[in-house]
């Protein structure tokens, strides 16, 4: 092989290696399967790749990188660059955002859920607490109010909640405990087997999760109006990885968030319109919870709010400020 040919080959290899070096690939840890809850992450991956002509890609893994309870830990050590988690899985690690999981906050729809989440995520106390895990908030995963599915006879009174074993996390678990329920925080992936095997009597989920984790397949009934609250599940990025992005890559990522949330909301709206047919197909009874039950549950929620403020305040968080921010944001969003 002559010198010119050898030089040409080496040059070509150098360009190849340089091209590989400048490409950015992020691993993203979520769980379960692709569903309404992860559509904004899927959208984000497509948008970022398109905006950078494939130079920045997000490789989404459904459970292959970590289990859902350890995603924040994985972010903290740089095991992957992006992850989704739910605050109720480890309340001690993300105390500030658990204000969004308090029961009966009065959040009426997903747009309001986005507004209050974004306001709380931007609070300095949340930014500081997340930074302890080397995590930066990117976007929320807005979920509607939770409702119960169960087997056997419907439970729709306070007396029937007494002794009820319910899959519920965070503030919702506290709420059911306040009326005699027995909450358990099995993961979403474990909920089907827990309900099927009788470990729990009921499961509290949003509609997409009842579908994705198949609890609706073995349910006899569903409460259509209990609406006790929801859980908060951010998508976060590793701070070091975020800071290492080029300006163009960072702009592509940040610039895709609004579109990702819009896509998520539109996709979820379609799911809600199909929910009636889902119940009919599976023969699930719609249970309307009586007003007196709702009033009793709501009355039990305020002491839980007060206890959260006192507890988090004692831990050095601006708890009252975070709590008030939820309601001022709702008022602003509604134009009040």
Confidence label for 336 from pLDDT (cuts 50, 70 and 90):
confident
Q: Which tens digits make up the pLDDT trace of 167-188?
A: 998 889 999 999 999 999 888 8
Cα of first residue to Cα of last residue in the chain, in angstroms, is 79
Q: Which helix (H) or strand (E) holds 61?
A: strand 56-62
Class for the domain spanning 147-230+275-333? alpha beta
Mean per-residue pLDDT for 69-95?
96
Q: Which tens digits make up the pLDDT trace of 107-117?
A: 999 999 999 99
Phi-psi region of 285 (alpha: psi -120 to 50; beta: other; left: phi over 0): beta
Tell me the HSE value of 38 on the side-chain side, using a 13 A CA sphere: 20
- State the pTM of this model: 0.86
Q: Which tens digits make up the pLDDT trace of 268-325?
A: 999 888 999 999 999 999 999 999 999 999 999 999 999 999 999 999 999 999 999 9
Q: Measure the CA–CA gap between 143 and 232, rounded to whole angstroms.
A: 8
Residue closest to 47 by CA, chosen among 235, 255, 267, 236: 255
Burial status of residue 77 (CB atoms within 10 A of its CB: 0-12, 13-18, 19 or more): exposed
Mean per-residue pLDDT for 18-33?
82
Domains 22-142+231-271 and 147-230+275-333 share a fold: yes
Q: Which tens digits make up the pLDDT trace of 123-152?
A: 999 999 999 999 999 999 999 999 999 999
Share of the chain above pLDDT 70, in %: 94
Class for the domain spanning 22-142+231-271? alpha beta
Q: Measure the CA–CA gap between 216 and 149, rounded to whole angstroms.
A: 7
3-state secondary structure of 91: coil
**Domain ranges within the chain, ordered by starting residue:** 22-142+231-271, 147-230+275-333
């Amino acid at each position: 092989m002559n010198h010119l040919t050898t030089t040409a080959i080496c040059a070509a290899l150098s360009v190849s290696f340089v091209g590989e070096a400048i490409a950015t690939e992020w691993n993203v840890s979520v769980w379960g399967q692709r569903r309404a809850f992860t559509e904004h992450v899927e959208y984000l991956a497509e948008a970022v790749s398109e905006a950078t002509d494939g130079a920045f890609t997000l490789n989404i893994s459904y459970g292959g990188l970590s289990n859902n309870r350890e995603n924040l830990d994985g972010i903290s050590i740089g095991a992957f660059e992006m992850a989704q988690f739910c605050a109720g899985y480890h309340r001690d690690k993300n105390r500030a955002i658990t204000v969004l999981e308090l029961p009966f906050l009065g959040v009426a729809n997903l747009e309001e859920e986005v507004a209050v989440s974004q306001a709380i995520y931007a609070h300095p106390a949340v930014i500081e607490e997340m930074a302890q895990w080397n995590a930066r908030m990117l976007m929320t995963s807005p979920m509607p109010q939770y409702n119960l599915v169960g087997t056997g006879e419907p439970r729709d009174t306070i007396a029937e909640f007494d002794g009820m074993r319910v899959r519920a996390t965070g503030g919702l678990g506290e709420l059911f405990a306040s009326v005699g329920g027995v909450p358990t925080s099995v993961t979403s992936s474990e909920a089907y087997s827990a309900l099927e095997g009788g470990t729990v009597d009921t499961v509290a989920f949003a509609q997409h999760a009842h579908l994705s984790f198949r609890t609706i397949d073995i349910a006899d009934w569903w409460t259509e109006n209990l609406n006790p609250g929801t859980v908060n599940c951010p998508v976060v990025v590793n701070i070091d990885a975020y800071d290492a992005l080029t300006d163009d890559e960072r702009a592509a990522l940040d610039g895709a968030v609004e579109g990702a949330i819009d896509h998520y909301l539109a996709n979820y709206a379609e799911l809600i319109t199909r929910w009636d047919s889902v119940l009919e197909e599976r023969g699930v009874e719609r249970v309307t919870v009586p007003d007196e039950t709702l009033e009793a549950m709501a009355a039990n929620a305020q002491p839980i709010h007060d206890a959260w403020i006192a507890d988090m305040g004692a831990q050095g968080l601006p708890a009252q400020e975070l709590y008030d921010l939820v309601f001022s944001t709702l008022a602003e969003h509604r134009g009040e």
